[in-house]
């Protein structure tokens, strides 16, 4: 009897634990990501307008396979602090963070990225007052070199330069985080490049085969027409 009671109690507890057990969150991947094997950067490539952006060189002809070689490379021009580039880098960072957490949930990414920021906290930037001490002309030269508005009082110029320095620092942090994530995901990035190149090659092979078949059919039709066409000698007879 005691054994039967214990069995029933265990059965009830097992049922309770089964009912109350939380359902594990479902991890989803896009078709292009192949269950986490590859990156899917098509949104960054097309819909965030990298291919037509000024910071991307405005090269609308760049192929996706070539884009994978430069997608995380910061622009070496005045577009570095542009709103367009900042949005692109923020969206790219967001995607890489999400992908990393989906594929490597056991790793503490928050701590990793926090450590990236520590290096920037140690870097001091000049205050507005210190910038004002440079004088109007030097401030004007600095603003002009950055492609910024150069007019205004000394204080206005200093504040404008200070604002730019703050923005540049924030973008530099984003770039550093993207660089760190790319290093952590290097194997996935290389695998993605190989997969895209393989698809491109297969596509070219299919296109070549289609062209060959089309050309063969065209030759066959021409030969049929020539055979059926009566010769001039037969017409004279």
Q: For the packed helices 154-184 and 186-228, what is the interaxial angle rounded to 10 degrees?
A: 80
Given a cut of 70, is residue 24 above it in pLDDT?
no
Is residue 233 a part of any domain in this protein?
no
| Alpha-carbon span 17 to 14, nearest angstrom | 5
H-assigned helices in the chain: 2-20, 42, 64-67, 83-103, 109-121, 128-132, 136-145, 154-184, 186-228, 232-236
13 half-sphere exposure, CB direction, 13 A CA radius = 6
| Alpha-carbon span 146 to 123, nearest angstrom | 20
Is residue 105 a part of any domain in this protein?
yes
Is residue 179 a part of any domain in this protein?
yes
What tens digit of pLDDT does each residue of 34-83 get? 999 999 999 888 755 677 777 765 555 788 898 999 899 887 667 778 88
Given a cut of 60, is residue 140 above it in pLDDT?
yes
- Highest mean pLDDT: which of 10-14, 69-73, 204-208? 69-73
**pLDDT > 70 fraction of the chain, expressed in percent and rounded:** 70
Number of Cβ within 10 Å of residue 236's Cβ equals: 6
Domain count, the chain: 1
Is residue 237 a part of any domain in this protein?
no
Is residue 63 a part of any domain in this protein?
no
Is residue 138 a part of any domain in this protein?
yes
Give the pLDDT of residue 125.
Answer: 78
| Alpha-carbon span 117 to 177, nearest angstrom | 8
Is residue 172 a part of any domain in this protein?
yes
Is residue 101 a part of any domain in this protein?
yes
Structural domain including 105 reads 80-187
Longest dimension (CA), the chain: 116
């Amino acid at each position: 009897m005691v054994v039967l009671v214990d069995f029933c109690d265990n059965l009830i507890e097992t049922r309770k634990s089964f009912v109350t057990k939380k359902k594990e969150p479902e991890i989803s991947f896009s078709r292009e990501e192949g269950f986490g094997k590859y990156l899917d950067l098509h949104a960054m490539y097309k819909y965030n307008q990298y291919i037509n952006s000024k910071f991307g060189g405005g090269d609308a002809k760049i192929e996706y396979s070539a884009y994978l070689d430069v997608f995380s490379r910061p622009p070496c021009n005045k577009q570095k602090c542009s709103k367009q580039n900042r949005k692109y880098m923020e969206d790219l960072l967001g995607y890489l963070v999400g992908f990393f957490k989906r594929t490597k949930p056991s790793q503490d990414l928050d701590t990793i990225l926090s450590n990236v920021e520590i290096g920037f906290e140690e870097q001091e930037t000049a205050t507005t007052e210190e910038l004002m001490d440079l004088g109007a002309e030097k401030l004007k030269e600095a603003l002009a070199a950055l492609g910024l508005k150069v007019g205004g009082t000394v204080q206005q110029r200093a504040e404008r330069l200070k604002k730019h320095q703050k923005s540049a620092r924030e973008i530099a942090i984003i770039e550093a985080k993207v660089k760190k994530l790319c290093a952590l995901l290097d194997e996935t990035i290389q695998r993605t490049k190989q997969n895209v190149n393989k698809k491109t090659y297969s596509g070219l092979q299919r296109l070549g085969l289609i062209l060959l078949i089309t050309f063969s059919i065209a030759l066959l039709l021409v030969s049929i027409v020539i055979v059926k066409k009566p010769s001039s000698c037969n017409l004279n007879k």
